Chain A
């Protein structure tokens, strides 16, 4: 892939310009507490970045990057980015550092946070200074300087957005993540990959068959998925760099691959021509052990982030319900009791929640429950079928498919069900979203 062949990474110099506010205690973040379901959006101002040398190429670049940061930070749903028409102060005409800023100009319009930036272009090398301020405390929260080739501008601002989210929430964000999904726009279900915000869509498979259920390895280098390209549903391991593809050789049905975090291992449902069970397999497709042992359907495994437990769907009680198995002890507990059709569990990256879909009165909706199965909360309602939840790598957002506009499309929302919006607009129908870890360069 483009990213791997780059040798420019070394050119991208990141400097911490200033000493950030020392955190009094690790894990305490005053600004955004992501465990608060009544989260208020933080009003933020992002005035157009300043052209530092005054050269002609800097201004359009500065404008483009201002828009880029605004788009990324708005996407998080943590902020309300204030309309630039309300700004009383133009940093273009003054400085971008704390000394030059009159914070009263920003607090009076309601901005609690401010991002300023400066761009300097020399040939094809770009320097970018970015600062995040708390306007009420009149303090710098983070300041960063990036230097690199102009074409790395998007990486620079994604990296800064990651720093912003880290400093405010204690999580790394998702600005280096991607989504895999299925689209049938060509008349066949094929696997596609795009950036976390639905941009830069790239088709991965050309099998003219049925391909579905993608899942990312924890280093983001491999996708596992199911395809009928050889006539029957088989699991394929697709290395993204170079495009090498290999199928498992087991007989019978092979479905629902789920990479184990931090390891080259997968859980997957195999029937081997007989009863369907979930197995733990090596990436080469060798059986390590069988994880379920019950007659009937066992499907849809999802791993706890520490790789010690697996949640899955089983029909052992007569209808599909979600269970959790502890790999070391072998103990199985039932997670869902509400409703008669609970499938598609997805374990949150923070480990404390499981999202799943539940069918009631013929409608499928997304729920989130803690891992004891207490307090399941419905996040979607009365808007078509809502299926296949997948967590952003920081656990703040959930992507899913929905038929609310007629055809199935990929949507995203916060983990509280707020800010629901369509992510991808392509021909045909889209389904089976899978959010990658935050490991893209």
Chain B
């Protein structure tokens, strides 16, 4: 019983392994030139028949191109939307607190995903406070908020070198109001792309 299971496990590992070996042949070639001769590439064969097929199916091919363009546009739009969401979606804090709420953690997870998908981007994490409290303490609190967000993203695998932090304390409110609604909006961490 046990032996059979091991065999099937081994097969499960070996079969995809073989497939991978074939598909990775080109990559392997870079590091091991000898492998090039040993592994013939089957790619050219279907390519030879392609022009004929293309001539026969000119119409469908064009609409395919259009569809592809459309898809590319959609993808670009989605990318843009994701980028905008990354910039525009702030995370919010309780008064005199730098603790990350459940909601804040969810938002930060999606920010981590975006950062994974855009590995060349470095960002600045801005910590802000509401107008209550005093200026210097709020500068310190704002930095702790930015650091909380940074620590969470680093735990999600983001390189800390991509994450700068700055505190603006109570100096840059988004809502100039003097009520709880405004204060709640101002107790935030905001992301900008460097």
User: Which A residues are within 8 Å of any B CB, using their own CB?
Assistant: 189, 210, 212-213, 226, 231-233, 252-253, 255-256, 269, 271, 276, 296-300, 313, 319-320, 341, 343-344, 357, 359, 362, 364, 387-388, 431-432
User: A299 to B140, Cβ gap below 8 A?
Assistant: yes
Chosen A-B contacts, 5 in total, with CB atoms closer than 8 Å, are: A255-B136, A297-B144, A300-B136, A344-B134, A362-B132
Size band of the interface chain B makes with A: 10 to 19
Tell whether B139 is near chain A: CB-to-CB under 8 Å. Answer: yes
Q: Which among A232, A253, A271, A343 is the interface contact of B134 at CB below 8 angstroms?
A: A343
Q: Which among B96, B133, B137, B139 is the interface contact of A253 at CB below 8 angstroms?
A: B139
Question: What are the residues of chain B within 8 A of A276 when measuring CB–CB?
Answer: 140, 143-144
User: Which B residues are within 8 Å of any A CB, using their own CB?
Assistant: 96, 132-137, 139-141, 143-144, 166-168, 171
**Cα(A299)–Cα(B135), bound, Å:** 11
**Cα(A344)–Cα(B133), bound, Å:** 10
Closest to A296 in B: B144
Known A320-B137, A343-B136: A210·B171 in contact at CB below 8 Å = yes
Known A232-B166, A233-B167, A297-B141: A341·B136 in contact at CB below 8 Å = no
| B139, chain A: closest CB distance, angstroms | 5
Q: Which among B135, B140, B144 is the interface contact of A432 at CB below 8 angstroms?
A: B135
**Cα(A212)–Cα(B133), bound, Å:** 16
User: A300 to B137, Cβ gap below 8 A?
Assistant: yes
| A341, chain B: closest CB distance, angstroms | 7
User: A212 to B137, Cβ gap below 8 A?
Assistant: no
Known A297-B141, A341-B96: A357·B134 in contact at CB below 8 Å = yes
Known A300-B137, A341-B96: A271·B143 in contact at CB below 8 Å = yes
Question: What are the residues of chain B within 8 A of A388 when measuring CB–CB?
Answer: 134-135
Question: What are the residues of chain A within 8 A of B166 when measuring CB–CB?
Answer: 231-233
Question: What are the residues of chain B within 8 A of A313 when measuring CB–CB?
Answer: 136-137
Closest to B166 in A: A232
| B33, chain A: closest CB distance, angstroms | 46
Closest to B139 in A: A255
User: B96 to A320, Cβ gap below 8 A?
Assistant: yes
User: B140 to A387, Cβ gap below 8 A?
Assistant: no
Known A276-B144, A297-B144: A253·B136 in contact at CB below 8 Å = no
| A316, chain B: closest CB distance, angstroms | 13
**Cα(A252)–Cα(B134), bound, Å:** 20
Question: What are the residues of chain A within 8 A of B168 when measuring CB–CB?
Answer: 210
User: A431 to B143, Cβ gap below 8 A?
Assistant: no
Q: Which among A253, A341, A364 is the interface contact of B140 at CB below 8 angstroms?
A: A253
**Cα(A252)–Cα(B147), bound, Å:** 11
**Cα(A231)–Cα(B164), bound, Å:** 12
User: A297 to B134, Cβ gap below 8 A?
Assistant: no
Known A269-B140, A297-B144: A253·B135 in contact at CB below 8 Å = no
Known A233-B139, A233-B167, A320-B96: A341·B133 in contact at CB below 8 Å = yes
User: A343 to B137, Cβ gap below 8 A?
Assistant: yes
**Cα(A313)–Cα(B138), bound, Å:** 12
User: A213 to B136, Cβ gap below 8 A?
Assistant: yes
**Cα(A357)–Cα(B133), bound, Å:** 10
Question: What are the residues of chain B within 8 A of A212 when measuring CB–CB?
Answer: 135, 171
Q: Which among A252, A297, A431 is the interface contact of B137 at CB below 8 angstroms?
A: A297
Closest 7 CB pairs of A and B: A297-B140, A343-B134, A299-B140, A256-B136, A253-B143, A343-B137, A255-B139
Contacts A233-B167, A387-B135 known; list 8 others, CB within 8 Å.
Answer: A210-B171, A253-B143, A269-B140, A297-B140, A299-B136, A300-B136, A319-B96, A359-B133
Question: What are the residues of chain A within 8 A of B141 when measuring CB–CB?
Answer: 297
Known A255-B139, A269-B140: A387·B134 in contact at CB below 8 Å = yes
**Cα(A298)–Cα(B139), bound, Å:** 11
